A and B are shown apart, each in its own frame.
Chain A
């Protein structure tokens, strides 16, 4: 431990204390609140199984919303990323595109949802639009950073043939970054399912609508059914994306076979 490190740690601890005071983060209140949690958990244990079909149906709607939002968002994001990549464009192209994308990125999905509920009314469509916008803002950053780090050797070699920019994108940029792009798509879908689960809070459809309403009326047993379904779904999707990753992504990145157990 150098003295410099000690100073940095000291500053971080001081900032933590000040910030906690400012936001009223009081650990004693947390401990005092624990019995309340016990009550909720106890009530949640009174799971009402007859709500399972409704919960599964609501989850299915949520997955479809996330699916449309992710695919459409990804499809719109990819060309934008090609324009935002610094190794493919001049400053006059990538700078304004990046500024636009940064602006889109400042909105969390729940704010987009509120905006679209006002625009197109309550329901899943507003949620889908919110997920599309959020996906565009979030995934373009991953995409153009990936594009900027692709190996310059194939780019130089193919560029030196005198090909057009669209050919360079189709034949070098996309194949070279395909495994990363697929990984990002899976990650985004996974993430969007979790996000879509809470968009119901503002009336933008999905399973969150049920959860928030049951919680409002203190029906924790019913809410628990829906929350369990979300949990199980997220675990399944997680497991599937690990499988896909092993099969298509790791193999193509390292040229090795992954033996799944």
Chain B
């Protein structure tokens, strides 16, 4: 058992090395920050802050992971990035626009932010194809959307994306008949149908078995390459996060306690803070034991 874990770890580090190399290549072209938050505070009620003093910036085209215990504020952080959550203090810029659902400019930007909530948010009693086409709604005219008339090229596009997420032949299946892994693919297809620049995914692989989780993560990595997509993903599993992400932020009790990345064989602490690299390695070891 320990042996296989070790093999996996070296594999992971190799993979990360490759990804980091790619990332350096990318970042030489785009050093652009697609998401910037500084000193952000937010709360659901007037008493407790769900997030406190959040500072982060995310490079365009990278894969950014958010890890933390349950209830630490991961989902809340994601909802700040698509304007579904208000913030009481600080500044947020999403592609240089302040998130605000009532602002026309941001509403237009929402069309290109794919968001997959923790429970996927699929409509269970309609088909896979119909769920996917929802991603194209902002591109429809009033008449088209009222009569559910999707133009032929959008239907073809949806089928192409369903092929990409390996759901060909299941277009007409009702979503409630699908397996957990297949449902996640539909949610990804709906998000990709938006032609997104940012993909937000909340614990999309947390409940899946090891093999399926990796299939889904590989799929997202592929889509990312093809579309120059910035992916921001909440994970439960630190090991998985380190395997795929360029950066990992760790949230604890509403605060970002550290931010790390992997360069070669070393884990780099980007946020010089209270937590040492040794402690990070300890957390990493803890998680891989599970």
List the interface of chain A (C-beta within 8 A of B).
151, 153-164, 166-167, 170-172, 175-176, 178-179, 252, 255
B164-198 residues at the A interface, CB under 8 angstroms: 174, 176-177, 187, 190, 194
A175 close to B137 (CB less than 8 A): no
Set of chain A residues within 8 Å of B194, measured between Cβ atoms: 161
A167 close to B121 (CB less than 8 A): no
Interface CB pairs A-B, < 8 A, 30: A153-B117, A154-B121, A154-B123, A157-B121, A158-B137, A160-B82, A160-B84, A161-B115, A161-B134, A161-B137, A161-B138, A162-B111, A163-B137, A163-B138, A164-B145, A166-B145, A166-B146, A170-B145, A170-B146, A175-B123, A176-B123, A176-B124, A176-B125, A178-B125, A179-B125, A252-B125, A252-B174, A252-B176, A255-B124, A255-B177
B116 contacts partner chain A, Cβ-Cβ < 8 Å: yes
User: Closest A-chain residue to B115, C-beta based?
Assistant: A160
Q: Smallest CB–CB gap between A217 and chain B, Å?
A: 54
User: Closest A-chain residue to B147, C-beta based?
Assistant: A170
Secondary structure type dominating chain A contacts? helix
Scoring B residues 105 to 136 as 1 if CB is less than 8 Å from chain A, else 0, what string do you get?
00111110101111111111110000000110
A170 close to B125 (CB less than 8 A): no
B163 contacts partner chain A, Cβ-Cβ < 8 Å: no
User: Closest B-chain residue to A159, C-beta based?
Assistant: B84
Set of chain B residues within 8 Å of A163, measured between Cβ atoms: 137-138
Given A153-B120, A157-B115, A160-B115: A175 and B126 within 8 A (CB)?
A: yes
User: How many residues in B have their beta carbons less than 8 Å from beta carbons of A?
Assistant: 36
Given A158-B121, A160-B115, A162-B108: A167 and B137 within 8 A (CB)?
A: yes
List the interface of chain B (C-beta within 8 A of A).
82-84, 107-111, 113, 115-126, 134-135, 137-138, 140, 142, 145-146, 148, 174, 176-177, 187, 190, 194
**What's the Cα separation between A163 and B136 when bound, in Å?**
10
With A171-B123, A172-B123 already in contact, 15 other A-B pairs whose C-beta atoms are closer than 8 Å = A157-B116, A157-B117, A157-B190, A160-B82, A160-B110, A162-B110, A162-B111, A162-B138, A163-B138, A166-B142, A170-B146, A175-B125, A178-B125, A179-B125, A255-B177
User: Closest A-chain residue to B106, C-beta based?
Assistant: A162
Set of chain B residues within 8 Å of A162, measured between Cβ atoms: 107-111, 138
B116 close to A171 (CB less than 8 A): no
Q: Smallest CB–CB gap between B147 and chain A, Å?
A: 9
User: Closest A-chain residue to B200, C-beta based?
Assistant: A160
Set of chain A residues within 8 Å of B142, measured between Cβ atoms: 166
**What's the Cα separation between A156 and B116 when bound, in Å?**
10
Set of chain A residues within 8 Å of B84, measured between Cβ atoms: 156, 159-160
Q: Smallest CB–CB gap between B279 and chain A, Å?
A: 35
Q: Smallest CB–CB gap between B23 and chain A, Å?
A: 27
User: Closest B-chain residue to A158, C-beta based?
Assistant: B134
**What's the Cα separation between A196 and B42 when bound, in Å?**
56
B137 close to A157 (CB less than 8 A): no
**What's the Cα separation between A157 and B131 when bound, in Å?**
11
User: Closest B-chain residue to A168, C-beta based?
Assistant: B137
**What's the Cα separation between A161 and B200 when bound, in Å?**
12
**What's the Cα separation between A156 and B123 when bound, in Å?**
12
Set of chain B residues within 8 Å of A172, measured between Cβ atoms: 123
A153 close to B119 (CB less than 8 A): yes
Ranked nearest first, the 3 interchain pairs of A and B with the lowest CB-CB distance are A157-B121, A162-B110, A255-B176
User: Closest B-chain residue to A254, C-beta based?
Assistant: B176
Q: Smallest CB–CB gap between B265 and chain A, Å?
A: 39
**What's the Cα separation between A204 and B176 when bound, in Å?**
46
**What's the Cα separation between A159 and B194 when bound, in Å?**
13
Q: Smallest CB–CB gap between A137 and chain B, Å?
A: 28
